[in-house]
Amino acid sequence: SFNAREAEQAHLLQVYGQYDIEPVSASGVHLQTRDGRKILDMYGGHAVACLGYNHPAVNAAIEKQARGLLFQSNAVALEVRAQAADALADFAPDNLNKIFLVNSGAEANENALRIALKKTGRSKILAIEHGFHGRTAAAGALTWGAADKWYGFPRTPFDVGFIPRDNAIAASTMIDDATAAVILELVQGVAGAYDLNADFVSAIAQACEAHGAVLIIDEVQTGVGRCGTAFAVDHYDVQADMLTTAKALGAGFPCGALLLSDEMAAGLGKGDLGTTFGGGPMACALIHTVVMAIQRDQLLDNVQTLSNRLQNECLTGPITAISGKGFLLGLHCDTSASDVCQKLLKQDILVGSSSDPNVARLLPPLILENEHVDQLVAALANC
């Protein structure tokens, strides 16, 4: 029988760790594998499949837009692009009224960082220890551990510093008049769904305001309903100057967005930013569809309700603690998280790993139901 892993090895670089399953179709929150297994997907393709699979609104949007206008660049104005921007701006925090559409989270971060450097005329950017912001030159420079593992560039494009996690005193000391920006994830996804302390985040925001530094909130993984609110920043008493998002934004179609305050957008004109595929009609049709579906189907309420169940009931079997918010949760294991992931997969449940060897991640679709929580809790107890 056909083996996709072996077939991929002929020409594709073998740079990814892969699960020992091959999905051939999917529907709702389940993957169907070539060998006939039905697997509960509690990982959602790295938090991308926010509406699950084979969602009727997503399918309809793809078919309608593909039959109408598959692609045109930003050289022309499009109704579907305006509709997507209107929906996203309405969904986003009130102070973020301007949008630049791109292809990915890393690209959104690259543009945010470049705007901050240009606006302030400064050369230092700070991030938080253990954070992840992407694999491109600027975003990778601010990704914890990248320099030792995969960064590859001979130098960073600006001065870089890392603030110790949840250390408000260090934040207040390190953020100074030479700081162009601070970038942070409010819930550090790759690090194991570590949610930053609210006082720490407030200290960063206050220091940024005091020194004229730009506050960039990276919501590539936490945004678009993932944390039970439109964006994770809604859980905190701070305002971002810029916010980046991607992953769930297109429900599986590649896209990303940079959201800016009016002040940050002021002065940006023709030629200052650019992208060929960002803001394409297919992506825009999906962005509009995702935002409308989350609101119409009250999926934020669903995330909050079922997240409470997950956090209360998954403390069973090897799980000793749970971190994170909404549907970005870290299961802290009393053994190897990899071992727990494998035991769950044998019971037809897919969960993710993290950079913490003792933390597995849950990133399920926002359409998860009570019966799926029941299945996970029972499987954990059986590990």
Q: What is the pLDDT of residues 329-340, one digit of tens each?
A: 999 999 999 999
Q: Mapping DSSP to helix (H, G, I), strand (E, B) and coil, where does residue 82 land?
A: helix
Q: Mapping DSSP to helix (H, G, I), strand (E, B) and coil, where does residue 35 land?
A: coil
Let me know if 303 is exposed, middle or buried by CB neighbors in 10 A (0-12, 13-18, 19+). buried
pLDDT of residue 175: 98
pLDDT of residue 1: 80
Q: How far apart are the first and last CA of the chain?
A: 31
Q: How many CA atoms lie within 13 A of 154 on its CB side?
A: 0
pLDDT of residue 263: 97
The pair of structure tokens assigned to 143 is 């990704």
pLDDT of residue 46: 96
What is the rounded CA–CA span in Å between residue 57 and residue 60? 5
The segments of the chain whose pLDDT lies below 70 read none
Task: Yes or no: say if 116 and 258 are a contact pair by the CB < 8 Å rule.
Answer: no
What is the rounded CA–CA span in Å between residue 359 and residue 364? 16
What is the rounded CA–CA span in Å between residue 189 and residue 199? 19
What is the rounded CA–CA span in Å between residue 175 and residue 164? 12
Secondary structure letter of residue 263 according to DSSP: H
What is the rounded CA–CA span in Å between residue 103 and residue 122? 27
What is the rounded CA–CA span in Å between residue 325 and residue 323? 7
pLDDT of residue 339: 97
Q: Mapping DSSP to helix (H, G, I), strand (E, B) and coil, where does residue 226 land?
A: coil
Across 225-254, b (16+ Cβ under 10 Å) vs e yields bbbbbbbbbebbebbbbbbbbbbbbbbbbb
